[in-house]
Amino acid sequence: MAKIKPGKGSPYAGIMGVGGYRPTRVVPNDVILETIDSSDEWIRSRSGIATRHWASPEETVTAMSVEAGGKAIADAGLTPRDIGAVVVSTVSHFKQTPAVATEIADKIGAGRPAAFDISAGCAGFGYALTLAKGMVVDGSAEYVLVIGVERLSDLTDLEDRATAFIFGDGAGAVVVGPANEPKIGPTVWGSEGDKSHTITQTVPWTDYRDGTVDRFPAITQEGQAVFRWAVFEMAKVAQQALDAAGISADDLDVFIPHQANMRIIDSMVKTLKLPEHVTVARDVETTGNTSAASIPLAMERLLATGQAKSGDTALVIGFGAGLVYAATVVTLP
């Protein structure tokens, strides 16, 4: 029996650069209140959201990704030709095929990299980051561009009081490459498919095509069930990620959870007993829930504003539709 040679990758991988893109249109709660019976105070108290960004027709999934990806590549000190793989996490690219990653790779000038999409909802960035780490360590690609991008305004029912105010648009990206020490920890990830009904699309695309329904499909959720799951279960997953990385909450510099809801974030901080010195990402207030884009967008803003710095140790965790989750500890670029 022939022996297969192992890959010749780096022993470790790390995040080398980060970039983000937020659409130019800023949408305050007052706009949301034009179509639902609610109040600015109610929205802020339930979610912590004051504004969100909605994309124009020109700010497509591809266009936003190219902007964010280009920034991440430049931040890493690389050129597009250095990129050996492009992994895009999104649920709002409306072409079944081809993968939008192939178009993005071409438009950023990456040559002929491996390119594919994944669909893992709000945990998508963590899933893609884990795949990228594996590629670098295995040697399949030296540098991997990971992009989380969403145009959730296209999937928002503005008459649904439970979800109309939640979602925003944007793209966040990181470059993963070789490292001389562990800079991306073990990933704690999983799924609970028995709860898949709690965050879902209202109807399949075929129902709309066939005229079974006359309203375009949108994202819907059982808010209380999702909130309880996130508050009580995701703090446990976050703690498991700390344990897997061999560190404690005291060792953290930054906490970057999925930007779903300010109350969920605050509850996780309390449950994890994070020290006061830990910087907590609260980008949801001005960006809303951008699903797969939320963690890299929040990471980019913390670094850009000086709230976090290169070399900081950060715990990241994403969770959402599926229900799926992914958590890991990283060193910020």
Task: Report d(CA 205, CA 154) in Å as an integer.
Answer: 13
Contacts of 191 (CB under 8 A, 6+ apart): 322, 323, 324, 325
Q: 240: closest CA among 227, 230, 249?
A: 249
Structural tokens at position 128: 């893609």
Task: Report d(CA 270, CA 285) in Å as an integer.
Answer: 19
- Active-site annotation holds for 53: no
Select which of 29, 122, 180, 197 is catalytic. Answer: 122
- Active-site annotation holds for 258: yes
Select which of 29, 53, 93, 258 is catalytic. Answer: 258
**Cβ distance 234 to 123 under 8 Å?**
no
DSSP string computed for 304-325: HHTSS-TT-EEEEEEEETTTEE
- Active-site annotation holds for 93: no
**Cβ distance 301 to 259 under 8 Å?**
no
- The radius of gyration of the chain's CA atoms, rounded to the nearest angstrom, is 19
State the DSSP H helix or E strand holding residue 191, giving kind and residue range, or none if neither.
strand 188-191
**CA atoms within 13 A of residue 24's CA, in its CB half-sphere:** 7
Q: Which residue has the tokens 């605050």?
A: 266
Scored b (16 or more CB within 10 A) or e, 284-316 reads bebbbbbbbbbbbbbbbbbbeeeebeeebbbbb
DSSP-derived secondary structure letter, 58: T
Select which of 53, 93, 261, 289 is catalytic. Answer: 289
- Hey, which residues are catalytic here? 122, 258, 289
